Structure 1
Amino acid sequence: MKLGYQQGDRLAYWWVDRYVDVSDLQEPPTKDAIARFFSWHRQAQLPEIATVLTRVKSEVAGPIDASMVRQVQQDTNRLGRRAFENAVPDVADLMLTLTPEQIKRMEGKFAESNAKYRKEFLKSDPKARTDARFDKIMDYAKLIYGGFSGEQERTIRDSMGPYMEGAEARYAERVKRQQEWLTLAREVSTSHPPKAQVEDMLRKYADHWQRPASGQQRSNEAGVDLSVKIANLTTPEQKAHAVDRFQKWIDDTRSLMREGASQAAK
């Protein structure tokens, strides 16, 4: 976590450049914007993240219920939205400089990503589709709880039915979100509205996608139920592994906070 965060500015620029092929003129303000974001994030959000991690650490040692998982989702959404709000002025600046060619490139990258997603998670064979999603779920589960027994894995796989029913809805929501983003980018590129108007457009986009459609909401609830099932299958040893894992994330977060305070003092 710490290593990834320390490289966050470079990774963020790489991600933006991959999607739009940043021009020579766009490069300096884009890098400056990313640096501002991480400076803000270290001071404003890392303390809140440490608080959330500390609370979850105290919860994973015992029984888990759906309200706990929903609270983590709410915390994640709240922090994400605040981060987006902080970035809105700089995102608006970049949007106002995007060329039609850059937007076309973005569209192509979305298409590549979607093709990869369909190939991995929307296979025509139901068993293969479930296997792929099961592997992804277990990657996250093992990250927190360590290894799982064969019996535990079979129980988890057998519990995935309701979550798998939402596979098409999740993909449709993903594509719709991308298409609305491209529509927004094209409108800005074509009409070049005032920056304040672009900022308002970005906020409306975020507002819309923080209110999931009914199909996505059902999929989310199925995911919550599955998370609860996995957590409550775990042994005392696996719960101890989870506590240790969260403590390491807390330590990393606090170390990053100290680094940020040191940099700000210079």
Structure 2
Amino acid sequence: MLTLLPLLLAACSLVQMGYGQADRLIAWRLEEYVPLDAAGRARLEPALARLHGWHCRTQLPAYAAWLRDAGAELGRGSDAARIDRHIDTLFALFGQTAAEAARDIGPVVAGATPAQLAALNRRFERNNRDYVEDWVRPPAAELQRERAERLLSRLEDWIGRLSPAQRARVETWARDIRSPSGDGLDSRRRWQAAVSALLARRDLPADAFARELEALFVQPARHWTAGYARAFNDNRTLAAQALADLSLTLTDTQRRHLQREIDRLAGDLEAIRCRPTNEDTTRS
């Protein structure tokens, strides 16, 4: 997550598929990793209802406000430092959600059985094989070309057709992005091993387990290799600078296009009505 606009597209996809179904999707995805028995599913349903209600009430307004602020920043022309602060804000919002999810869903997966752990590790290995196929085996030139195509497509979704000079700037950005595929795979495996080890523990009190799970999702960099951490930070710097450079070259037509897209997505988020829950008066 090293660019603003691709992240906006992810949010857009969430709205399009139906935010009201998000808790059911999370339950389905969770069971792809840690299969639950009937008792586990019975505990998961109210936990997800609480999480969904909290997220709807507190996070959707924050995302809409962030969209409007970041969009206005890009529209009037910005610099890398200000854009980097917007990235910080977005990461902080994601961290809040990860922390809340750890507190709500953590008790459901604590003390996983050997069968659940085996299923989790099989899923991790499947994901790692996909990662190798997508990011390790392809030649560097192919990865660079595909990266440039994705960036160009996503940017044009948000600001309209790019000029030749703007396309050249995006292609330079794509060329300069570091792809530490080996370090990426090692970092994934380190983090996955830490998750498996935590879920296997049966000696931790519930609050301690939730804190450890929260740290895994909020601070994954603790398990990255030094090379991957450097590449991540370098790529974030490249993203902020590239978006700043592009923001200074937007035409009036592109600014209007961007504003329409921001208004549409922020408006969709603001229009979502949260389901009432028993937690509404006690949780913030």
Q: Deviation of residue 38 (structure 1)?
A: 0.9
CA separation in 1, counterparts of 2:66 and 2:268?
Answer: 14
The CA RMSD over aligned residues, in Å, is: 2.6
CA separation in 1, counterparts of 2:68 and 2:96?
Answer: 20
Deviations 1:188-247 (A, max 9, x none): 2xx342212212322443464266733432232233233334444543322221111110
Task: Give the structure-1-normalised TM-score.
Answer: 0.84
5+ residue gaps in structure 2? 1-11
Number of residues of Structure 1 aligned to a counterpart in Structure 2: 259
Q: Does 1:116 align with 2:130?
A: yes
Q: Relative to structure 2, which stretch is displaced further, 146-155 or 1-10?
A: 146-155
Q: 3-state SS of the aligned residue for 1:25?
A: helix
Residue in 2 aligned with 1:98? 112
CA separation in 2, counterparts of 1:235 and 1:167?
Answer: 37
Q: 3-state SS of the aligned residue for 2:193?
A: helix
Q: Does 1:219 align with 2:230?
A: no
5+ residue gaps in structure 1? none
Q: Relative to structure 2, which stretch is displaced further, 80-89 or 159-168?
A: 159-168
Q: What letter matches 1:216 in structure 2?
A: F
CA separation in 1, counterparts of 2:64 and 2:194?
Answer: 34
Identity %: 17
Shift in CA distance, 229/171, structure 1 to aligned 2, threshold 3 Å: farther
Q: 3-state SS of the aligned residue for 1:37?
A: helix
Residue in 2 aligned with 1:235? 251
Residue in 1 aligned with 2:154? 140
Question: Is the Cα–Cα contact under 8 Å of residues 74 and 244 in structure 2 kept in the other structure?
Answer: no
Q: Does 1:201 align with 2:217?
A: no
Task: Give the structure-2-normalised TM-score.
Answer: 0.79
Shift in CA distance, 223/175, structure 1 to aligned 2, threshold 3 Å: farther
Question: Is the Cα–Cα contact under 8 Å of residues 107 and 182 in structure 1 kept in the other structure?
Answer: yes
CA separation in 1, counterparts of 2:188 and 2:245?
Answer: 26
Shift in CA distance, 232/181, structure 1 to aligned 2, threshold 3 Å: farther
